[in-house]
Chains A and B, each alone.
Chain A
Amino acid sequence: MNKLSLFVIALLTWLSLTWTLNYQDVLAGIAISLSITFLLGDIYVINPRKIFSPKRMFWFLYSLLVFSVYCIKANFIIAYRVLHPGLLISPGIVKVKTEMMSPLGRAFLANYITLTPGTLTVDIEGEYLYIHWIYVMTEDVERATGIIAGRFESILKRVFE
């Protein structure tokens, strides 16, 4: 089941990459997907039922939507700060606590934080994330968590847990 889902994902990626249904391309795709499945199937540890559950898919798409809204907003703010003659920045590394338990969920949270302009994940230690913040509003762990991670965490929890 686990390997089958990896095979399906690899084959779908291959088909969208080549974008033909010519039998030669499809056969090559099947061969490559099979070799990927047998070479890398052991390090692929996600529960396949979670990937194909429609509820989780929906929340994942919703998290992408929320992320793009924050991302566009933050892009304009950072662009203004960088273009301002006085360079309106006060950078620093703050600590953020996450309640997420699954490693994949933590990885996604860290990536969302990094892709949002203005924040950059430096390291994860247990349940703490160290975030480089271009404009530090608060050094307090609780409040920084609310501002940086809070907007994604509640949605990502529904996707990964």
Chain B
Amino acid sequence: MNEVIGLVIIGIGVAFNLLGCIGLVRLPDVYNRLQASTKCVTLGTWSILLGTFLICGFTAIGMKAILCGVLIAFASPTAAHALARGAHKAGIKLWERSVCDKYEEDGK
């Protein structure tokens, strides 16, 4: 039973990772694309890891999946934040149809 649930959750994760990749191609500028890549992680990769944990249970593999999830939870937003800040500091403009840029207005 656990295996079936695990496989369904892994399927959901793969589907959301696919959606994230479509977003990566379709969205216009670097900031929106970073949004798509962090979106992949939350429901996509965590679902795959959770499915792995459900299938393997409390074994070496399942515990590694959980630890990977914790590690990703710290690493992914930090990397996205660093890339976005770096891109803004390097002078990359927002998409021309963007609504506002308070960061630019405050002269940072």
Contact = CB atoms under 8 A, between A and B. Distances in A.
Interface string B15-35: 010010011001101011011
A134 B97 CA distance: 12
Interface in A7-26: 13, 16-20
Interface residues of A, number: 39
Contacts of A1: none
A16 B59 CA distance: 9
Interface stretch (A50-58, A107-115, A147-155): A107-115
Contact of B60 (A18, A79, A83): A18
A93 B77 contact: no
B54 to A, nearest CB: 16
Interface string A72-89: 100100110011000101
Counting chain B CB atoms within 10 Å of each CB, which of A87, A89, A111 scores highest?
A89
Interface residues of B, number: 46
Contacts, number: 131
A139 interface: yes
A71 B42 CA distance: 7
A111 B38 CA distance: 11
Interface of A: 13, 16-20, 71-72, 75, 78-79, 82-83, 87, 89-95, 110-111, 114-123, 125, 130, 132, 134, 136, 139
6 contacts: A75-B42, A92-B99, A93-B104, A95-B102, A118-B35, A121-B84
Question: Across chains A and B, which 4 residue pairs bring their CB atoms closest together, nearest first?
Answer: A114-B77, A92-B99, A117-B39, A92-B100
